[in-house]
């Protein structure tokens, strides 16, 4: 372990204690005929999905099986997101509904975790008004979930573990991944950027990177066990390594991972434009496995709004980065995040965002109307533009993007592309779902045994959101 690292690492003996709690809970349920059932409902970003896989890994060690039906579960977990108000409202709605299942089964344990749980005002509200919730813990306490659950089972008291902390690194938590095709691998946690609208740094703590040996080993073992696509996760992966003080950055990590033998794609998200470097683009361009795909959120096309958002780059710097990346990777697939209606934004400024979208041509955009998050700097700013007006600007943005996406997708028709078939689709005429190297969705005609394989696909149709095609034959697993 790096001697110079500036962030805390959970001690092996503390982690081992959690494995002991898993065994005690398993023993407690051993006398029952049926396996205990858990219902884990995850909201939010891939980071939270990765945390959900750890929760399920720990539950599996405790002897739990899984159900998607809260009514039949012995344990219900809401793994929450705090990024927008709407996400929070949904969770409070779900918590309300759970009063019924708890009434029918008073033994049921209800747990609220994830980013919302780390917010002081949320924990307080749950403590006072949602008394059927037994366990509340934030992302910082994820590693000690077995201990917290054991406390609930042994004391039958409500347990809250939501202290505000900078956060730490915990290795070796059991993980239950969904299927053997795609895997999420967190390489770092937290965020130091404090964009003025964003709650994430308050609930996920400071940036901390995993030791490179741990990341390399995890990726190597996933590839060896047949995973075909690995996505490296962090709120700002370009900051990877800063706290390790080892002179080793994200581009170095990507290059090292690219050296692992096998047939697979490597992706990563998200990147922050202020830290995206030419070095990174060169590594991507020269790599064998790194997908030529970049998710680089720009948020606004107006320099005044970017400064008010505390993004620390200008429109010109952003376009300069994209020019460099495209010069090195002409086939680059580019996606981004955008916020419309930041407090004080004028119609002209919102239209600067639309003009940047038209100027750069994004393959896809994740678009959001600004949502005030209590405790962030932006939430204290005057915000006088009515929602209806913001919606009008938003619709102009969507229209510009949808027109471009449809044209871009149509340009694929007649081409043959390599895709990774990752499951079934909900379209009976094109029953398989797959992704291109650029992560575009392709619905496919083909046999189910292609799932989990790379395949060559001839593109026969498209719309704004997806491509359609026919498999030309699978490439067997190597």
Which listed option, ligand SAM, ligand F3S, ligand SF4, none, makes contact with residue 454 (CB within 5 to 8 Å by class)?
A: none
* Under rule CB under 6 A, residue 160 binds ligand SAM: no
Instruction: Give residues 438-467 in contact with ligand SAM (rule: CB under 6 A).
Output: none
Residues 219 and 230: beta-carbon distance below 8 Å? yes
Q: Point out which span in 30-38, 196-204, 384-392, 408-416 binds ligand SAM (CB under 6 A).
A: 196-204
Which listed option, ligand SAM, ligand F3S, ligand SF4, none, makes contact with residue 194 (CB within 5 to 8 Å by class)?
A: ligand SF4
| 371, 402, 460, 464: which one binds ligand SAM (CB under 6 A) | 371
Residues 6+ apart with CB under 8 A from 176: 53, 56, 57, 59, 60
| Distance from C-alpha of 404 to C-alpha of 18, rounded to nearest angstrom | 51
* Shorter beta-carbon distance to ligand SF4: residue 114 or 452: 114
Sequence length of the chain is 478
| 57, 63, 201, 474: which one binds ligand SF4 (CB under 6 A) | 201
| 56, 126, 198, 471: which one binds ligand SF4 (CB under 6 A) | 198
CB of 206 to ligand SF4, least distance (A): 11
Residues 343 and 381: beta-carbon distance below 8 Å? yes
CB of 235 to ligand SF4, least distance (A): 4
CB of 212 to ligand SAM, least distance (A): 21
* Under rule CB under 6 A, residue 308 binds ligand F3S: no
Residues 383 and 372: beta-carbon distance below 8 Å? yes
Q: H or E segment at 188?
A: strand 188-189
Q: What are phi and psi of 115, to 5 degrees?
A: -65, -40
β 416-427/454-462 pair status? antiparallel
Which listed option, ligand F3S, ligand SAM, ligand SF4, none, makes contact with residue 264 (CB within 5 to 8 Å by class)?
A: none
Residues 6+ apart with CB under 8 A from 405: 363, 364, 464, 465
- Tokens in use for 239? 């900051």
* Shorter beta-carbon distance to ligand SF4: residue 21 or 250: 250
Residue 42 class from Cβ within 10 Å (0-12 exposed, 13-18 middle, 19+ buried)? buried
Residues 6+ apart with CB under 8 A from 253: 187, 212, 215, 232, 240, 241
Which listed option, ligand F3S, ligand SAM, ligand SF4, none, makes contact with residue 84 (CB within 5 to 8 Å by class)?
A: ligand SAM
β 188-189/208-209 pair status? antiparallel
Largest Cα span, the chain:
67
Which residues are at the interface with ligand F3S (CB under 6 A)? 44-45, 47-48, 81-83, 114-115, 199-200, 203-204
Interface residues with ligand SF4 (CB under 6 A)?
191, 193-195, 198, 200-201, 235-236, 272
Binding footprint of ligand SAM on the chain (CB under 6 A)? 45, 83-84, 197-198, 200, 235-236, 270, 272, 297, 299, 337, 339, 368, 370-371, 373
């Amino acid at each position: 372990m790096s001697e110079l690292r500036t962030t805390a690492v959970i001690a092996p003996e503390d982690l081992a204690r959690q494995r002991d709690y898993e065994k005690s809970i398993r023993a407690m349920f051993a006398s029952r005929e049926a396996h205990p059932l858990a219902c884990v409902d995850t909201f939010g970003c891939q980071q939270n999905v990765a945390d959900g896989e750890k929760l399920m890994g720990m539950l599996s060690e405790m002897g739990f099986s899984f159900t998607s039906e809260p009514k039949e579960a012995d344990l219900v977990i809401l793994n929450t997101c705090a990024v927008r108000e709407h996400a929070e409202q949904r969770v409070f709605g779900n918590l309300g509904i759970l009063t019924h299942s708890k009434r029918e089964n008073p033994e049921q344990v209800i747990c609220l975790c994830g980013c919302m749980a780390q917010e002081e005002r949320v924990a307080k509200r749950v403590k006072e008004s949602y008394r059927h919730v037994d366990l509340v813990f934030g992302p910082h306490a994820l590693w000690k979930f077995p201990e917290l659950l054991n406390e609930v089972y042994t004391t039958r008291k409500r347990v809250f573990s939501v202290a505000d902390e900078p956060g730490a690194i915990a290795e070796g938590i059991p993980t239950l991944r969904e299927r053997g095709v795609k895997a999420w691998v967190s390489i770092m946690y937290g965020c130091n950027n404090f964009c003025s609208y964003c709650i994430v740094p308050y609930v996920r703590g400071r940036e901390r990177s995993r030791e490179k040996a741990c990341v390399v080993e995890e990726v190597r073992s996933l590839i060896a066990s047949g995973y075909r696509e690995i996505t490296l996760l962090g709120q700002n992966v370009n900051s990877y390594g800063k706290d390790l003080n080892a002179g080793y950055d994200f581009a170095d990590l990507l290059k090292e991972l690219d050296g692992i033998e096998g047939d697979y794609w490597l992706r990563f998200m998200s990147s922050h434009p202020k830290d995206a470097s030419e070095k990174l683009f060169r590594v991507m361009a020269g790599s064998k496995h790194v997908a030529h795909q970049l998710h680089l959120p720009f948020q606004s096309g107006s320099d005044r709004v970017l400064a008010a958002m505390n993004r620390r780059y200008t429109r010109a710097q952003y376009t300069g980065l994209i020019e460099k990346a495209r010069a090195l990777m002409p086939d680059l697939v580019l996606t981004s995040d955008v916020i419309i209606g930041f407090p004080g934004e004028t119609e002209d400024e919102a239209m600067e965002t639309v003009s940047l979208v038209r100027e750069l041509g994004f393959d896809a955009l994740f678009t959001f109307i600004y949502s005030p998050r209590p405790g962030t700097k932006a939430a204290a700013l005057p915000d006088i533009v009515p929602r209806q007006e913001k919606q009008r600007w938003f619709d102009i943005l969507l229209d510009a993007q949808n027109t471009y996406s449809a044209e871009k997708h149509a340009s694929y028709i007649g081409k043959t592309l390599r895709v990774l078939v990752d499951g079934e689709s909900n379209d009976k005429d094109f029953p398989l779902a797959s992704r291109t190297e650029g992560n575009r969705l392709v619905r496919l005609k083909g046999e189910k045994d292609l799932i989990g394989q790379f395949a060559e696909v001839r593109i026969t149709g498209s719309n704004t959101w997806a491509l359609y095609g026919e498999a030309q034959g699978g490439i067997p697993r190597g």
